[in-house]
Homo-oligomer: A and B are copies of this chain.
């Protein structure tokens, strides 16, 4: 049953290289998508946008060269053919654009930092790209309350740096922090490396300002940590990937910035030992843990080969990166050291390094964070972003390897162990449609059998929209469609995404 359903849709993550190395084929061609009944952009539409946004050439882009980076996703896997990028600066401008598009049946693809992994932020056809790049104002940081309010286009790292000056932090950290936008983080319910410590966006977003599909502004911009005065509408937009409304402002709760941090990079003999260490860490380090990342030896082989970053220890079957952060330099250091010493004595760990020095911590982190750098240089890669029981992480990696036999160049897994989020990566010399389909059916069956998720943190976007009816019960899929109809009756908001 499952396999039949899957076949109806497009493949998961595929990339055919025809021609230029850095220019994927048009998504609409590769995936044979049918264009929706939207109007095509015409001269008089453009004139309206130019009048609305002013003479500022920075705000309306139509030069095809300028457009290219907005049409193609970061992983070079998807490519749209939009002919205009609009860059409003204010909510009022967004509202006018959307109202006009709704009346004129013009489709919109909202784009933040364009760092998504599921191609949710790039157009499939000629959707108007509404970029939040110029909506980059930090509106308020309240030191007494530990809250921040900003426009949707503020870069995660920029906000975090501003908060750092007042000893607070954004409760979210991602490899793409230097370019992703807060609005995009909220729209995709971004997870990242510190979710196990600070929780997800649903817990951290206090309020949102939304522009609805009809252009109306929905003021949900509450700023208090406790507020139960009505239905919690803001949460409907978190993780909705731009399909229900456009996020224009965000209010976040921000925890105090840790004053001390330590990072350990450990080599382990088996995955059993990895799980034992996790249990031990949860017990002994508990509230000071801020990241637990796991990698296997092939991950590190890949990294060494493709990023030229040298891991700080020799080759072991498994690696753990554990980060602690807290407010007491002395005690946190003592605790972490005691934990590591006893882990060595108890034979959980074969080798490891630990540091509290910024530069050394950064170089350890870059081994983990830059893993994806090499992907783009290869023939075909599939990144499967799975939530499964932690006990099954490397069973699944091994099963996948066995399933693929010698058809894959690399099969490796790394991920956010503390959150049960495995990134399973398959790399082959060239794209093979049959193989990718089969692999996908194999993985989906296995993951769903474990009550797992085929999209832990990357969202559905374009590539994984087929999962919407597969991953959700019939009644909940039905309700999602009803909500979409209610919120965006003309389906102008991010078409071809999330909903298959």
Contacts and interface: CB of A to CB of B under 8 A. Distances in A.
Nearest to A484: B231
A4 interface: no
A494 interface: no
A124 to B, nearest CB: 19
27 contacts: A142-B389, A144-B390, A144-B391, A146-B282, A167-B283, A188-B228, A202-B202, A203-B204, A217-B475, A218-B475, A219-B476, A224-B456, A225-B387, A225-B421, A227-B453, A227-B455, A227-B456, A229-B464, A229-B471, A230-B467, A230-B480, A231-B243, A231-B484, A232-B235, A283-B327, A328-B335, A331-B334
Nearest to A332: B331
A239 interface: yes
A344 interface: no
Given A216-B475, A225-B195, A475-B212, A460 B203 contact: no
Given A222-B453, A235-B236, 18 more contacts: A144-B389, A146-B282, A202-B203, A203-B204, A216-B475, A223-B451, A224-B388, A226-B419, A227-B387, A228-B239, A228-B453, A228-B455, A228-B457, A231-B483, A232-B236, A256-B282, A284-B328, A287-B326
Interface string A235-273: 110111001100000000000101100000000000000
A390 to B, nearest CB: 6
A291 to B, nearest CB: 14
Q: Which of A142, A227, A230, A244 has the most CB of B within 10 A?
A: A230
Contacts of A259: 283, 286
A200 interface: yes
Interface string A362-402: 00000000000000000000000001111100000000000
Interface in A405-434: 416, 419-421
Given A231-B244, A473-B219, A456 B420 contact: no
Nearest to A485: B486
A452 interface: yes
Contacts of A146: 282
A92 interface: no
Contact of A283 (B225, B256, B452): B256
Interface residues of A, number: 92
B144 A460 contact: no
Given A203-B204, A218-B475, A220-B476, A390 B145 contact: yes
Interface string A190-230: 01000110011011100000001000111110111111111
Interface in A125-175: 142, 144-146, 167
A239 B228 CA distance: 7
A98 B245 CA distance: 32
A285 interface: yes
Nearest to A456: B226
A472 B229 contact: yes
Contacts of A142: 389
A296 to B, nearest CB: 19
B230 A472 contact: yes
Contacts of A217: 475
Contacts of A458: 228
